Amino acid sequence: MTTRYRSINALQQDNRRCRACANAGYHLESLPVVEGHAGQRAYLYGQAPGVVEAEERRPWRGRAGRTLRDWLGLDESAFYETFYCAAVTRCYPGRAPSGRGDRTPTPREQALCAGWREAELRILRPALVVTVGGLAARVLLGRTSLTACVGERCELDGVPAIPLPHPSGASGWLNAPANRELLANATELVRVELARL
């Protein structure tokens, strides 16, 4: 049970060994990927690691990570120092059967992984939450439309929560000029909130 954890180190030690989805019969292509440390006040919540992250076992190592850092104006060391990097599911789910992008974790996998997030939030008590991509915004903030929430300052249990689109570009959401404007508003909100931490 993830409720027993008192420290983020102990939680991560067990999270990195978690095989709950594989034991439930789901096909995973990596061990869990999670990175962060005690004391971080900003919690970054993505969808799931990709192939590069799976190989390196570090989050946000591929092209999407570089784009995200560009959006936020952070270099690598500032990015990893600022954000505790978590995700809806923490193991690489492999390619989508359609061949376009990565497989979206099933609702059951999302539910199996939720306990790690709940324990992290309980221990870390972040002062800022940033969701990345539609699935993360839906799972954590209950927001079902990126267009309706990107650029908005949401809240999670009284904590500012800023939704961002996913930087992989797989969805095509960013192709619309109006959505790129929403993104600019959202990244500005993140910068303002980071400056307050």
* Residues that bind ligand SF4 in the complex, under the rule CB under 6 A: 15, 18-22, 32, 89-91, 109, 112-113
Cβ atoms 39, 158 nearer than 8 A: no
Give the amino acid at 36. G
| Tokens encoding 155 | 């809240």
Supply the minimum distance, in Å, between the C-beta of residue 178 and ligand SF4.
34
Supply the minimum distance, in Å, between the C-beta of residue 122 and ligand SF4.
17
Supply the minimum distance, in Å, between the C-beta of residue 153 and ligand SF4.
29
Whole-number Å distance between alpha carbons of 132 and 168 = 10
In this structure, the strands spanning 159-164 and 154-156 are antiparallel
SS (H, E, C) 149-194: HCCCCEEECCEEEEEECCCCCCCCHHHCHHHHHHHHHHHHHHHHHH
Whole-number Å distance between alpha carbons of 105 and 88 = 8
Q: Which of 27/180 has CB closer to ligand SF4?
A: 27
Q: Of 50, 186, 53, 179, whose CA–CA distance to 129 is shortest?
A: 186
Supply the minimum distance, in Å, between the C-beta of residue 85 and ligand SF4.
13
Q: Which of 54/150 has CB closer to ligand SF4?
A: 54
Q: Of 161, 151, 166, 180, whose CA–CA distance to 68 is shortest?
A: 166
Q: Which of 67/106 has CB closer to ligand SF4?
A: 106
Give the amino acid at 123. I
Q: Which of 68/87 has CB closer to ligand SF4?
A: 87
Supply the minimum distance, in Å, between the C-beta of residue 117 and ligand SF4.
9
Q: Which of 1/195 has CB closer to ligand SF4?
A: 1
Q: Which of 113/137 has CB closer to ligand SF4?
A: 113
Supply the minimum distance, in Å, between the C-beta of residue 163 and ligand SF4.
22
